[in-house]
């Protein structure tokens, strides 16, 4: 794992740099997108770069991680609507190039299998952007999720529903109870995973992700098994990590290397 501990704005800039580097090599890259607050800075930074003409995302295809079940098609918090509003509209990607799990399917299990096939047919995900829940979830794989899981229906954990009530007028009963989510094994198939976490609320989950044992109790810890993960943290989210000096030095030498070549 590469751990980058940066100041607030630098987190979003570094995340956007990783996407930009990929697009220079592969303008038709397949991106995996998280919703929620964590990636918004990266999406907005990419939007600014698109507006300046320094990066072009028009050739990409994207797949989101998850979708609530039971929200009306035009609900502002339905993740398809969120990602069109917060990402696609900002960076100039057309709606047909944004794939989201089909929450309207009559056969939801079949829709989950189809989503896996769609990702595979697109060539797999080149760069997956992730956030992390306070209980260590990634996508909607809460504690106890199978480490080998693939896209499927899930009941949302109580903690996730409490955390997400802020998007539903702080009313827990308005937060959906179920979702479709990529599984942990689906996420691990991505070629590069970039996880962003900011703030003290995430610090406990972050230390389990980086230093904890690999365990379904803290699902993000499965990322320790992936060969290419970049974790971008602010100081608050990183505060319980051991070895932060090492991470800082390793990250600084990365920048020096980049300057040399
Ligand atoms: C969103 C998702 C979730 C969030 C996580 C953190 O598509 O899959 O795992 O990344 O709940 O949410 P924020 O970033 O709002 O703290």
Give the mutation target among 101, 133, 158 for probing the ligand 1 site: most ligand atoms within 8 A of CB.
133
Distance of CA 13 to the CA centre of its chain: 16
Closest C-alpha to ligand 1, atom 11: 133
CA 217 – CA 200 distance, rounded (Å):
20
pLDDT digits (tens, 9 = 90+) for 166-221: 999 999 999 999 999 999 999 999 999 999 999 999 999 999 999 999 999 999 99
Name every protein residue with a CB atom under 6 angstroms from any ligand 1 atom: 34-38, 65-66, 131-133, 137-140
Q: Scan for tokens 């996880």, then name that residue.
A: 195
Nearest to 30 by CA among 130, 125, 98, 117: 125
Over residues 121-143, the mean pLDDT reads: 97
Ligand 1 mean position to 132 CA, how many Å? 6
Specify the pLDDT at position 256: 75
What's the pLDDT band for 260 if we cut at 50, 70, 90? low
Query: Is pLDDT at 6 greater than 90 in this prediction?
Result: yes
pLDDT at 231 over 80: yes
pTM greater than 0.75 (yes/no): yes
Answer yes or no: is pLDDT of 261 > 60.
no
Residue 144 clears pLDDT 70, i.e. is over it: yes
In whole angstroms, what is the distance from residue 82 CA to residue 215 CA? Answer: 31
pLDDT band of 254, cuts 50, 70, 90:
confident
Q: What is the mean pLDDT of residues 71-94?
A: 97
Q: Evaluate the CA torsion angle 128, 130, 136, 139 in order and state its sign.
A: negative
Token pair belonging to 235: 């100081």
Mean pLDDT of the chain: 96
- CA-CA distance, 70 to 164, in Å (whole number)? 15
Adjacent-strand bridge partners of 63: 32, 99
Q: What is the pLDDT of residues 87-131, one digit of tens each?
A: 999 999 999 999 999 999 999 999 999 999 999 999 999 999 999
Q: Can you tell me the mean pLDDT for 246-255?
A: 89
Helix ranges (DSSP H) in the chain: 8-25, 40-52, 79-83, 89-91, 108-121, 158-164, 184-188, 203-211, 244-260
Q: Which atom of ligand 1 is nearest to the CA of 38?
A: 14
């Amino acid at each position: 794992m590469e751990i980058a501990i940066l100041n607030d704005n630098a987190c979003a800039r570094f995340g956007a740099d990783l996407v930009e580097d990929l697009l220079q090599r592969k303008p038709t890259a397949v991106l995996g997108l998280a919703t929620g607050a964590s990636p918004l800075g990266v999406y907005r930074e990419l939007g600014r770069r698109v507006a300046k003409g320094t990066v072009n995302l028009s050739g990409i295809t994207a797949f989101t991680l998850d979708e609530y079940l039971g929200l009306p098609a035009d609900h502002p918090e339905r993740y398809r609507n969120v990602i069109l509003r917060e990402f696609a509209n900002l960076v100039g990607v057309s709606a047909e190039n944004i794939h989201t799990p089909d929450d309207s399917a009559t056969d939801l299990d079949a829709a989950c299998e189809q989503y896996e096939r769609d990702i595979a047919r697109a060539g797999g995900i080149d760069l997956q952007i992730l956030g992390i829940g306070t209980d260590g979830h990634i996508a909607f794989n809460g504690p106890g999720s199978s480490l080998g899981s693939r896209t499927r229906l899930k009941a949302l954990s109580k903690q996730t529903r409490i955390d997400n009530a802020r998007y539903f007028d702080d009313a827990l009963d308005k937060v959906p109870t179920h979702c479709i989510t990529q599984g942990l094994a689906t996420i691990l198939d991505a070629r590069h995973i970039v996880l962003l976490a900011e703030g003290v609320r995430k610090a406990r989950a972050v230390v389990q992700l980086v230093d904890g044992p690999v365990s379904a109790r803290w699902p993000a810890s499965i990322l320790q098994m992936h060969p290419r993960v970049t974790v971008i943290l602010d100081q608050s989210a990183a505060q319980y990590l051991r070895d932060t000096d090492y991470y800082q030095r390793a990250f600084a030498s990365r920048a020096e290397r980049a300057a040399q070549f």
